[in-house]
Amino acid sequence: MKSPALRFLLGLSISLVALESQPVEAQEVSELQADLSQMLDAYSWKDARWGVLVVSLDQSDTLFSESPDSALSPASNLKLLTTAAALRILGPGFRFQTYLLSDSNIANDVLEGDLVLYGTGDPGISDLFFQEREDVLELLADQLEEAGVRTVMGDLVADASHLPGPLRPYSWDPEDLNDHFAAPISALSFNENVVSFRVAPSDRSGPRPEVHTIPESAGLDVHNLAITSPRGTRPHLSILREYPLDPIRIEGGIVLGARDAWRQMTVPSPPHFAASVFRNVLLERGIRILGNIRVVESPDKSVLTGITSPTHHERSRVRILAKHTSPPLSEYISVINKKSNNLFAELVFRTMGRTQEGLGSPEASARAVSVALTEIGVPMESVVQLDGSGLAAGNRTSASTFVSVLQRMAETETWNHYWASLPQAGTRRELRRMYQTAAAGNLRAKTGTIEGVSALSGIVRSRDHERLAFSILLNGTPSTTRAKRVENLVGARLAEFVRSPEREPNAIVEEIDERTVVSGQSSQRYQVVSGDNLSSIAYRYGLTLSEMLQANPRIEPNRILAGQWLTIPQRGGGS
């Protein structure tokens, strides 16, 4: 009987002989498969399940697979389906509209009825795209002033009826609903539907601390039950709310002279929140609203009926007093995939359902995604999509589905937009992993993390420039941190892969300039980079400095900042 050591050596010898007898290309593939298997095996947990697939887009062969068709929870990798379908259904140039409407007359600077703030699902009314979070509301106020309105006799109506689906999907974990990443989904949103609380101690012990909200005038129900405690004590301050519709309670104490305490929470009613802040913007302009804030979430109670996104059909007696047009969808899908922004994903998801079926429900939206991706050849039969972001633990898809999406999207005219939206490895503000490996500046992939789930799916170039589409899904892991180490190892190994040192590269992937894809001239918006000045930007787009200043009335001409967004006016009419 041979000893275990002898059997191992004999097996190793046979394996080496087999490798030596293979063609060089097949040997490289076999070594890749052995390396990836070892990486997965090194991080195996009881009851944990891998789903992994690597396919060459250029050779159309499978380089590695491990349960690629297993239906697993994808976490935020689901955003790859949402954004791919959005590019197919809505198009990269799609823009959301936000309106000020009224069905009343204006007489002697008085609007005789209600003023309606009407949203169609724009998630970008915040400081993510504008220098100040209230900039869009200020621009709407500018137009209202130009219309001659100084007093509104009726209510300020916050109309979110365009997307009447649930604010908080039933599939989301109730324990997440106070957290910023689970913001409620509304057609009328502001500041990504979150508010920050700042609690500052009073100037002496005993009184209540000061409670501030950012933004101010948030219109929230806050019960301040805390006290300012003497120095030398160690009280505990709590900013509490069990459920998003409950009042916020400030309890406990904060020490005299201590630093301010902060907490961020989702708002209970996004339309009321947006209208509260807008009312304050108008008040600062001297525009008075004599009525109250009223929220409309049902289409049958809206001043408008029969709207089909993205076209706005107005009834004869309804007037558009002001309008804001969002940045293009191409910029929004970058926020969805690079920042993994759940609210942006959910509102784009709901908009697809509204566009295709006239319904903004999650079910209609999931059907829209399935149809759009099936049309380009992605098998969607086994996909269970409960939301647009992947926050729902009950979502199900497979590694093979994600690889198929990447394969099929690479054959479409919107591929450049899709590819540019994916986070790049080794980049500080994108995929901050795989530094100092061949994947850095090369691999682009969407991450995914919820409890027990880790995922990474995307594209990487091999050493001979072959495009490799991959998907790595893991469910049931007790450590997503360790799971991501495996993803990093796999990504770096794929970037090092070469079929044959002697073979010429099969495909050279053309580098895509993201600024032409995401922030190009056709988008009418430009993001300032270091070294820019307003004159050079105007010259680049064939405009005068005065035209740029007219399109951007709130900027200081000699003080523009890197990262700031500018409106690029179109020749021949407006911006």
pLDDT along the chain (575 residues), means of 10: 45 45 76 95 88 95 96 98 98 96 94 96 94 93 95 97 92 94 97 95 93 91 94 91 92 94 95 97 96 94 64 64 95 96 98 94 96 97 97 98 97 95 93 93 96 97 94 95 95 92 52 52 61 76 79 75 74 37
Interatomic CA distance for residues 156 and 200, integer angstroms: 32
Domain assignment present for 508: no
Residue 116 and residue 72 in one domain: no
Domain assignment present for 186: yes
What pLDDT, on the 0 to 100 scale, is given for residue 37?
Answer: 95
Domain assignment present for 2: no
- 416-449 b/e (C-beta count within 10 Å ≥ 16 → b): bbbbbbbbbbbbeebbebbeebbbbebbbbbbbb
Domain assignment present for 54: yes
Residue 416 and residue 392 in one domain: yes
Which residue, 55, 81, 83, is CA-closest to 470?
55
| Single-letter code of the amino acid located at 126 | S
Instruction: Tell which of 302, 326, 350 closes a domain.
Output: 326
Residues 6+ apart with CB under 8 A from 107: none
**Token pair listed for 119:** 């949203």
Half-sphere exposure of 198 (CA within 13 A, CB side): 9
Range of the structural domain that residue 550 is part of: 524-567
Interatomic CA distance for residues 410 and 402, integer angstroms: 12
Residue 178 and residue 311 in one domain: yes
- Across the chain, how many H-helices and E-strands are there? 14, 23
Q: For the domain that residue 72 is a member of, what is the CATH number?
A: 3.40.710.10
What pLDDT, on the 0 to 100 scale, is given for residue 281?
Answer: 96
Residue 312 and residue 351 in one domain: no
Confidence (pTM): 0.84
Q: For the domain that residue 207 is a member of, what is the CATH number?
A: 3.50.80.20
Residue 542 and residue 451 in one domain: no
- 174-197 b/e (C-beta count within 10 Å ≥ 16 → b): eebbbebebbbbbbbbbbbbbbeb
In DSSP notation, 70-106 reads --B--GGGGHHHHHHHHHHHT-TT---EEEEEESS-E
Which residue, 199, 201, 187, 297, is CA-closest to 257?
201
User: Which stretches within 121-231 are classed as H helix?
Assistant: 135-146
Domain assignment present for 574: no
Residue 251 and residue 279 in one domain: yes
What pLDDT, on the 0 to 100 scale, is given for residue 8?
Answer: 40
Residue 387 and residue 313 in one domain: no
Interatomic CA distance for residues 93 and 523, integer angstroms: 7
Residues 6+ apart with CB under 8 A from 139: 322, 324
What pLDDT, on the 0 to 100 scale, is given for residue 12?
Answer: 43
Instruction: Tell which of 326, 359, 374 closes a domain.
Output: 326
pLDDT in tens, 202-237: 999 999 999 999 998 898 999 999 999 999 899 999
Half-sphere exposure of 523 (CA within 13 A, CB side): 22
The three-state secondary structure class of 425 is strand
What pLDDT, on the 0 to 100 scale, is given for residue 24?
Answer: 64
Domain assignment present for 572: no
Residue 119 and residue 85 in one domain: no
Half-sphere exposure of 24 (CA within 13 A, CB side): 7
User: Cβ-count burial of 216 within 10 angstroms (0-12 exposed, 13-18 middle, 19+ buried)?
Assistant: exposed
Instruction: Tell which of 452, 481, 496 closes a domain.
Output: 496
- Angle CA(444)–CA(350)–CA(194) in degrees, nearest 5? 80
DSSP 423: P
Contact of 448 with 454, CB cutoff 8 Å: yes
What pLDDT, on the 0 to 100 scale, is given for residue 503?
Answer: 57
Q: How many domains are there within the chain? A: 3
